[in-house]
Amino acid sequence: MKSILMFLCLMMAQCGSQSHSELKTTIAARHLIKSPRDFYSLDLESISSDALTMNHKFQRDISWVLWEDLLSKIKIGESGSIYLFQSWYATDDIKRIFRHLYSKIPSSERSSHQTFTEDEIFRAEQWHNQAIWEQAHWTEARFKQWLEEFQTPDQFISLPGIERVLFNSHYLQHILKNYRLIIDCPQGAAEPCLPPFPQGTAIIKTAWQRQGPGFPLMHYVVDQNSLPDILMPNKSWQGHPSTFAPEGLIKMTNLSHSTFYLTGIHLSAKTHEHWLWSSLWWDPLQSPLGQDRPASLSSYHYQMCSVASYNQQDLRHNFSDASLLGFYNAFSTLDHTQTWCSNPYIEHGKNNQKTNCLGCHQYAGEISRSQDITEILNNDPTQLISQYRTSFQSDYTWSLFFGANNIQRQMQQVVSYFQTYPTY
């Protein structure tokens, strides 16, 4: 019975649902989107790591450039458009591509096969863009009918689904080249099981919030006046139902006519050993952390924090905007020597408002239970702010071995399927 259930689940994952999905990036959506679009304004490999870690203004300027790219619109199909970050791969995309690649290995060679070449991965991505036509229930007429359901721009934004975590092509290529090391990695390994991700790798985490009767948008105040309370121990983010119109943030309306707003979005970009972390959240009050955003993003009411190291000594360096300078003056006055970046729509729980992204992610690959993170937050949150590790088991990425997007588990399911049904 267990093997039959595994077979049915994996075949459903390969074929996709015959109805539209409002949560997942379906095989139909991927056919329309094609391969992910990457940053186009600058090359992550060209960014100076010294400048990122020593000059906070430079760090914020670079972050805004990346957000300009990610929040730009790209055309898909004949008349629709989505945001660039929505074109990135979801976990279901990765699983479909890996399954296709693994199925091409002769059954006699699967146990010894170690890696895929760049050319094989590229051809698998191209296959994935057209894989819809291998499914008998998808015809051109049905695809056209499905596409016509998305009648408004806001509905078209919902076409890729409400994916919480998204990955660029560099991430996909690295894990496929090292898939055997990922699959065979024991839980809690003392040393990293695979090489670090290459520069250029990037991951997005999103927070879409439903809005309507019974679903008010929450609002969080982050400014120099609220900062002392934000950094107090044993507190958490305290939001209030917003009395402001939902303006200045990305909106989608799905085919069930439910409306969602992108209240928070977080970027992890591999620019150097400790990555660049940058986070946006909605604030209709136009608080200080959005005052330096570029003109191209002026219509958005998003605030931004960023970090690229555990310690930052020059937070007041070269800020010309008075309100932004005031925020960092207040920050420095509190003798908070560690860096800070916490998104109120993403970082939940006690003491998580004090954290700085990389302090938590340094344990990725070592900690396998969310309860363990919660326990550290409750008892000693400095362990999630300061650097305690010199070796990073999964290079700051939780998605390899942890959570709903557990890449190892997804790959192991595919391998187990072909062990059970070797002739497929």
Q: By C-alpha distance, which of 252, 236, 198 is closest to 355?
A: 236
Single pTM value for the model: 0.91
| Beta strands, E only, 218-301 | 218-219, 240-241, 251-253, 259-269, 276-282
Neighbours of 40 (CB within 10 A): 10
The residue whose two tokens read 């970027």 is: 267
The DSSP code sequence of 173-239 is HHHHHTHHHHHTPPTT-SS-SSPPPPTT-EEEEEEEEEEBTTBPPEE---STTTHHHHTSTT-----
Q: How many helical (H) and strand (E) elements, i.e. helices and strands, does the chain have? A: 15, 10
d(Cα 384, Cα 396) in Å, to the nearest integer? Answer: 12
pLDDT along the chain (424 residues), means of 10: 40 38 82 96 91 89 97 93 98 97 93 92 98 95 95 95 95 97 88 94 97 90 87 88 93 94 98 96 90 95 94 64 76 68 93 89 82 84 86 91 90 93 71
Q: What does the domain layout of the chain look like in residue ranges?
A: 2-420
Q: Tell me, what's the pLDDT at 125?
A: 98
